[in-house]
Homo-oligomer: A and B are copies of this chain.
Amino acid sequence: MALAQVNPTVGDLAGNADLVLAWTRRARQAGAHLVAFPEMMLTGYPIEDLALRTSFIEASRRTLESLAGRLADEGLGDLPVVVGHLDRRTLTVARLGQPVGAPLNAVAWLHGGEVLVSSAKHHLPNYGVFDEFRYFVQGDRLPVVRVGGVDVATVICEDLWQDGGPVDATARAGAGLLLVVNGSPYERSKDDQRLELCRRRAREAGCALAYVNMVGGQDELVFDGDSLIVDAAGDLVARAPQFVDHLLVADLELPSAGPVPDGEQHLDVADGTTITVERRIASTGHVPVFDRSPAEIALPLPDAAEVYGALVTGVRDYVRKNGFASVVLGLSGGVDSALVATIAADAVGPEAVHTVLMPSRYSSDHSITDAEELVKRQGLHSRTIPIRDLVLAYEKEVELTGLAAENLQARIRGNLLMGLSNEHGHLVLTTGNKSELAVGYSTLYGDSAGGFAPIKDLTKTLVWELCRWRNTQEAPGPFLAALGREPIPSAIITKAPSAELSPGQKDTDSLPEYDVLDALLDDYVERDLGRDALIAAGHDPALVERVIRLVDGAEYKRRQYPPGPKITGKNFGRDRRLPITSRWRESL
Contact = CB atoms under 8 A, between A and B. Distances in A.
A372 B303 CA distance: 61
A70 interface: no
**Chain A interface category by residue count:** 35 or more
Contacts of A218: 579, 581
Contacts of A389: 393, 396-397
A464 interface: no
Interface stretch (A49-57, A102-110, A506-514): A49-57
A192 interface: no
A483 B432 CA distance: 45
9 contacts: A12-B583, A46-B579, A54-B528, A97-B126, A133-B133, A321-B583, A394-B415, A402-B423, A403-B422
A532 interface: yes
Given A134-B127, A451-B556, A404 B390 contact: no
A582 B53 CA distance: 14
Interface in A558-588: 559-560, 562-563, 576-586, 588
A318 interface: yes
Nearest to A320: B581
A540 interface: no
Contacts of A126: 97, 126, 131, 133-134
A98 to B, nearest CB: 8
Interface stretch (A18-26, A286-294, A406-414, A473-481): A406-414
Q: How many copies does the complex hold?
A: 2
A12 B580 contact: no
Contact of A386 (B11, B397, B419): B397
Nearest to A534: B55
Nearest to A420: B398
B11 A583 contact: yes
A449 interface: yes
Nearest to A57: B530
A400 to B, nearest CB: 5
Interface string A351-382: 00000000000000000000000000000000
A100 interface: yes
Contacts of A90: none
Given A10-B579, A126-B126, A390-B390, 5 more contacts: A49-B576, A95-B162, A126-B133, A385-B397, A404-B420
A419 B398 contact: yes
A264 interface: no
A484 interface: no
A47 interface: yes
A295 interface: no
Contact of A48 (B58, B385, B402, B578): B578
A359 to B, nearest CB: 12
A408 to B, nearest CB: 6
Contacts of A49: 576-578
A402 B423 CA distance: 8
Contacts of A58: 530
Contact of A97 (B52, B125, B396, B577): B125
Nearest to A416: B398
A123 interface: yes
Interface in A93-149: 95-97, 99-100, 123, 125-127, 131, 133-134
Top 4 A-B pairs, shortest CB-CB distance: A55-B530, A11-B584, A393-B393, A404-B422
A412 to B, nearest CB: 7
A54 B533 CA distance: 10
A305 interface: no
A13 B419 contact: no
A445 B9 contact: no
A208 interface: no
Contacts of A577: 48-49, 131
Given A48-B578, A96-B161, A581-B10, A407 B419 contact: yes
A404 B531 CA distance: 47
A554 interface: no
Nearest to A134: B126
Interface string A15-39: 1000000000000000000000000
A394 B419 contact: yes
A400 B412 contact: no
A257 interface: no
A136 to B, nearest CB: 11
A445 B448 CA distance: 10
Contacts of A134: 126-127, 131
Contact of A579 (B48, B162, B445, B528): B48
Contacts of A162: 95-97
Contacts of A401: 423
Contact of A127 (B9, B97, B399, B559): B97
A281 interface: no
Contacts of A530: 53-56, 58
A444 interface: yes
A92 interface: no
A158 interface: yes
